[in-house]
Amino acid sequence: MSAPPVIARLTGHLGHLTLNRPAAINALTAEMVTIIRHTLALWAASDRVRTVLVTGAGGRGLCAGGDIRAIHADAVSGGTGSLDFWADEYRLNATIAAYPKPIVAWMDGLVMGGGIGISGHAALRVVTQRSRLAMPEVGIGFHPDVGGSWLLSHAPGQLGTHLALTGTPIGAADAIAAGLADHYIPSERLPYLRLALARRDAAGAVASFATAPPESDLTAARGWIDDCYSGDTMDGIVERLARHPDADARAAAETIATRSPTSLAVTLRSLRSAARLPDLPAALAQEYRLSAALLRLPDLAEGIRAQIIDKDRQPRWQPATVADVPPELVDACIAPIDNPPDLRVEGQK
């Protein structure tokens, strides 16, 4: 028999969830989301479980995102499976954020897209010297979902805008600086932390193993990042980046030029709007509308084709530049839809 895609274990008063698709760097499937939601519901009602730990199998990362090939199949065929998956996944993100017991997310190795959704809303988010976090969706014609718009729009200054529009991977120190993680613990200490979590309160156990992270490059770059990304138009942001004397700013402009123009415009609107929304469920509801709209636009299928299917890294975006993205297209993507799924969970208003 093959191993389950999510392994649930109880040790002492610790419930330990291990994402178990190591060959795919634990990319999420609909089955995995269902298992996690069901297990968390059982553990929330159990007097035995006081803390939940989430880790990834295989040593390469916690979670590399969602099942991109399945999304591509829906995008090219007009299928609806991705809509059901996103609704369940976003409910899981809301569940993690509202969970009545501390969830400790071990963000070791690669943590991308859906992996941020699994870990970024947890009560105690731990990064290591091996952590590489990213929300790279604009590179495949999509947008930062799974609550990414909420997390990134509440990052200090314009750090979240920079990360969303470039899709740049960051390490542990930058993850903490951007508000995506809380504590730095070297990866070799995980077995000892796991034992401590089974016996002690979660916050105290994590704090006892945490050490000071390295210095953050993002914090050092706040000057040009806050200056260049402060506007509400992609044209203005790109122009300021391209003209800035800092070489890193100009490099960011070059990176953004390779991303889907439609995704960039939608993502910028999403971040600015999410910053004014009342809570995570409201942001997830907005993200669902955007996801449903982008599923039917050409860039998502084309971006996944270029990056994952054919791997030619030569996407043909439609439209080809941010200047050519009609504002009314972005308006239509973010507009209310008929019969939206209810993404709130118990404990959230």
Helix (H/G/I), strand (E/B), else coil: 348: coil
In terms of DSSP H, where are the helices of 189-297? 190-197, 202-209, 217-220, 222-228, 234-243, 247-256, 261-274, 280-295
Instruction: For residues 153 and 232, give the distance between their C-alpha atoms in angstroms, rounded to a whole number.
Output: 13
Tokens found for residue 325? 């993205």
The catalytic position among 56, 65, 66, 117 is: 66
Other CB atoms closer than 10 Å to residue 319's CB: what's the count?
A: 16
Q: What is the dihedral of CA 104, 132, 313, 261, to 10 degrees?
A: 70
The catalytic position among 15, 65, 113, 114 is: 114
| Angle, vertex CA 131, rays to CA 304 and CA 280, nearest 5 | 70
- 145 annotated active-site: yes
- Burial annotation 183-205 (CB, 10 A radius, 16+ → b, else e): bbbeeeebeebbebbbebebeeb
- 66 annotated active-site: yes
The catalytic position among 67, 89, 145, 174 is: 145
End-to-end CA distance of the chain, in Å?
A: 42
- 312 annotated active-site: no
The catalytic position among 67, 74, 108, 137 is: 137
Instruction: For residues 202 and 218, give the distance between their C-alpha atoms in angstroms, rounded to a whole number.
Output: 29
Least Cα distance to 207 among 171, 182, 187 occurs for 182
Tokens found for residue 46? 């159990």
Residues annotated as part of the active site = 66, 114, 137, 145
